[in-house]
Amino acid sequence: MKRVVLSGTGSGVGKTTISTGIMRALSKKHKIQSFKVGPDYIDPSYHKIATGFDARNLDSFFMSEGQIRQSFKQGMNASKADYGIIEGVRGLYEGISPITDVGTTSSIAKALHAPIILIINSRSLVRSAAAMTLGFKALDNKVNIQGVILNNVKSQKHYLKTKEAVETLSNTKVLGGIIRDKSITMEQRHLGLIPAVEEERIKDLIEKWGNLIEDNIDLDLLKEIMDNSQPISDTYEPIWSNNKTREKTKIGIPFDEAFNFYYKENLEALEANNAELKYFSPIHDENIPDVDALYLGGGYPEIFKKELSSNTSMLKSIKKFSEDNHPIYAECGGLMYLSKSINNESMVNVFPYESYLTKKVQGLSYTIAEVIQDNPILKKNTQYHGHEFHYSKVEYKGSNKQDFAFKMKRGVGITGKYDGLLKNNTVASYIHTHTSCIPEFAYNFTQSAIEN
């Protein structure tokens, strides 16, 4: 499988713009399957517009090396892709530890034996760009840096000087350079880039990125690098359990402007467990569809709180669904939606606590949680990995740990110690997770739907 990792030297180097532009440019003649390193919902939404295929996430905190390879193969096979393009996260070696590989882009590249193209913010750099390249190559001799892209160059003259420095002093090919241009940057909000599902105009911007890449990057050289990818190890591990629910179920999935944070593999795992996914909009539809369970993902309910609050028939139908003891699993934005209110706008009120947006980030971390009560997705006395990223709080006013399903071993959760508010057969937490962290997720959830 032909592949490449596009990695930055750090945050803010233009990695998403360049990666998405490359995906768009190559998609004009080839089938491209995109992947994103790390826990991220927003960049993959841009990838999907660029390629026409759902993006996948690869993460060595969530996944073993065998699962990384399985997820990559699964994505490539699903789209019948000619090339796999993997956008990294932050700098090539940045992860949860200052000295180990866990959570890094480099760990993904090594698990897949993938060549790496290093994207450098070369603003005001010439020879130093060569020094950076040498340093990145020297830190780990198992990584395979095959080329460099120079971003934010001042002019063609600056680009040519920096190209000469990098190729001569670090013996690394430069595939091209992008002259700095504010018109290609994208508006951001508190969780990062605006999700592409919201903005039709983003399609035009991505098309512009693709044209920019065609004009400035040697795509033939990039394809040559991918064509010469080393074979991937044939050791694979499943990303969901071999246990399978045989009876059919229907799972409701809210998907609209307010809710759109879902990992593709989580949805596939449900389908593999004989679930039919029924998509609906808490903003635009009057009631939930005829389903056996609800999976409320994250998103931006705080941005659309007035629209959500005004849809009283939807709020009532979800609350009744919970009171009737049907399974509901909610993550982050879904938790806020199930609370009493978001910034004083009424919500579903399964949990009688107010939630509100804050100016500072409240949780930004990989998480580890211990399950302290049985719930629709996990059984007591198990542990699972996940992540949290939220600028909000749920004002929990109780004092009973029995209100919660999870005890935090790493991360903040709702109280700093506990997460996963539990009521009826509804569990809602700030933790986002991936089926590779909970291989039994889909089996447990669909079985719960059958039993209730």
Catalytic member of 288, 332, 371, 414? 332
Burial 352-373 (b: 16+ CB within 10 A, else e): ebbbbbeeeebbebbbbbebbb
Distance of CA 363 to the CA centre of its chain: 16
Is 437 known to be catalytic?
no
Q: Of the candidates 129, 131, 171, 134, which has an alpha carbon nearest to the alpha carbon of residue 150?
A: 129
The number of helices, as runs of H, and strands, as runs of E, in the chain is 13, 24
- Tokens at 399, concatenated: 């004092």
Structural contact between residues 68 and 108, judged by C-beta atoms closer than 8 angstroms = yes
List the structure tokens of 396. 């929990």
Quick one: 415 exposed, middle or buried, by C-beta within 10 A (0-12, 13-18, 19+)?
middle
Which candidate, 110, 103, 185, places its Cα nearest to that of 144?
110
Q: What is the DSSP letter of 101?
A: -
Is the dihedral angle over the CA atoms 242, 243, 246, 247 positive or is it negative? negative
> Which residues are the active-site residues?
332
